[in-house]
Amino acid sequence: MLSSFWHWYVVIITVFTILASLWLLRWTKGISNRDKDNETGSTGHVWDEDLVELNNPLPRWWLQLFYITIIFAFVYMFLFGGLGNIGGYLGWSQEGQYEAEMNAAAEVEEAIFSRYREMDNETLMADAEANATGQRLFANNCSMCHGSDARGARGFPNLRDDDWLYGDSFDTVMQSITDGRQGAMPVLVGHLDDNAISDLVVYVQSLSGQKADAAMAANGKQTFDMFCVACHMPDGSGNQALGAPRLNDDIWLYGGEPEAIRTTLIQGRNGNMPAYKDLLSEDRRRLLAAYVLSLSK
C-alpha cells in the first residue's frame, strides 16, 4: 500500500482524465453532418420521417468555460500539488495545514487553560467560568451515558447525588476520568435454589429500608454473610476501594425492584467507564473533574 504504485496510479489517472476531457470537447465539436444550404448540424438520426436530432455546437462562451476549468486544473496542481507525491510550488499539504491549525488551536487553548492551571482544586470547583467550560466538556464527552443533566440512567451513575462508587476525592474522580473503571458483579449464587435466591433478594431490599418479610430476610442474611460481605461489607455499606456499591441506602444503579435485584444476582453486572487519557488533555480532564464534583457539592 505504501509502494510507488499508488503515486503513479494517481498521476496517470489525473492527467489522463484532464486530457481526455480536452479531447472530448474538441472531438464532439466537429461531429455533425452539415447541410450545405443552411449549415445546420445533424447527427444523422431521423425519426418519423422529419424529426431530426441536431448536433449544433455549444455557445462559444460556454465552451470557453470548459477550457478555463482545464487550465485551472493544471494551474492548481502546479501551485498546490495533487499529482500523487509531487508537491506544489507553494509547498502546501494537508498535513501541513492540519499541523498549522492544531498549533493555532493549542495557542488559543493555552491562553484559556493557563489561568486554571494555577488554581487549587477547591478554587477550581467554585470558579464559574471553569464550571462553564467543564459543562461544555461534559456535554461533549459524558452526557451520552450520564445524561445532559448528569442524573444518570439505569446502569449509569447519577453524578448529582452524594453516592460514589469509588469515592468523591478530586484525585479519585480524576483517576476515573483518566484511566476509566471496570466494574464487575460476579455470579456467586449459581448453585442456589430459587427459594434461597428469593430470600437473598428480600434481605437486600431490607437493607435499603424497603418493606420485607422478616423470615425471608433472616434466611437471606445467612446467604449474604456467606457470599456478599467480602465486597459489600456486613452492614451493606459497600467498599469504595473495589467500587462495590452501598446497599443500605435507597440509591440503585440497576434498580431496586425485586426483579432487577434477582437479575443482578443471577446474571451479574459488568460496568465500563472508558478512559479519556488519550482523548482529553490533563487540563481538560481537571476541569471536567471539577465540574462533576461541583454538581454534588
Verify that 193 and 175 share a domain, yes or no: no
Cell 479531447, located at residue: 23
Question: Which stretch of 2-6, 22-26, 174-178 has the lowest confidence by average pLDDT?
Answer: 2-6
Is 162 a domain residue? no
Averaged pLDDT, 226-235? 95
Digit-coded pLDDT (tens) for 68-116: 999 999 999 999 888 888 888 888 888 889 999 999 998 998 988 999 9
pLDDT of 272 > 90? The answer is yes
Note the pTM of the prediction, 2 decimals.
Answer: 0.70
- When pLDDT is averaged across residues 49-64 and rounded to a whole number, the result is 81
Q: Please compute the mean of the pLDDT values over residues 173-189 and round it to a whole number.
A: 94
pLDDT digits (tens, 9 = 90+) for 6-24: 888 888 999 999 999 999 8
- CA angle centred on 221, ends 218 and 226, rounded to 5°: 145
User: So what's the pLDDT on residue 226?
Assistant: 94
Residue 1 has pLDDT above 60, yes or no: no
Establish if 93 belongs to a structural domain: no
The percent of residues in the chain predicted with pLDDT above 70, rounded, is 94
**How much is the pLDDT for 269?**
94
Structural domain contains residue 214: yes
The alpha carbon dihedral of 216, 235, 292, 179 has a sign of: negative
128 and 240 in a common domain: no
Contacts with 146 (C-beta within 8 Å, 6 or more apart), sequence order = 138, 152, 153, 156, 157, 158, 159
Residues 142 and 61 both lie in one domain: no
Looking at the domain assignment, is residue 33 inside a domain? yes
Q: CATH no. for residue 191?
A: 1.10.760.10
Higher pLDDT, 224 or 37: 224
- Same domain for 228 and 242, yes or no, is yes
pLDDT at site 49? 82
- Segment 46-63 mean pLDDT: 81
Q: Which pLDDT value is given to residue 34?
A: 53
Q: What is the DSSP string of the chain?
A: --STHHHHHHHHHHHHHHHHHHHHHHHHHT-----TTT---EEEEEETTTEEEE-PPPPHHHHHHHHHHHHHHHHHHHHH--BTTBPPTT---HHHHHHHHHHHHHHHHHHHHHHHHTS-HHHHHH-HHHHHHHHHHHHHHTHHHH-TTS--BTTB--SSSS--SS---HHHHHHHHHH-EEEEE----TTS-HHHHHHHHHHHHHHTT----HHHHHHHHHHHHHHTHHHH-TTS--BTTTTBPPSSSS--SS--SHHHHHHHHHH-EEEEE---TTTS-HHHHHHHHHHHHHHH-
286 and 175 assigned to the same domain: yes
pLDDT at 286 over 60: yes
- Does residue 268 share a domain with residue 188? yes
Average pLDDT, the chain: 90
| Domain C-terminal end among 80, 115, 135 | 80
Residue 35 within a domain = yes
Is a pLDDT exceeding 90 seen at residue 213?
Answer: yes
* Domain stop point among 80, 95, 126: 80
Q: Is the pLDDT of residue 136 over 80?
A: yes
- Give the structural domain span for 228: 183-273
Which candidate, 275, 274, 261, places its Cα nearest to that of 224?
261
Residues 152 and 286 in one domain: yes
pLDDT at 291 over 80: yes
State how many domains the chain has: 3
What was the pLDDT predicted at 39? 54
Q: Are residues 260 and 289 in the same domain?
A: no
Same domain, 46 and 153: no
Residue 28 and residue 66 share a domain: yes
**Residue 231 pLDDT grade (very low, low, confident, very high; cuts 50, 70, 90):** very high
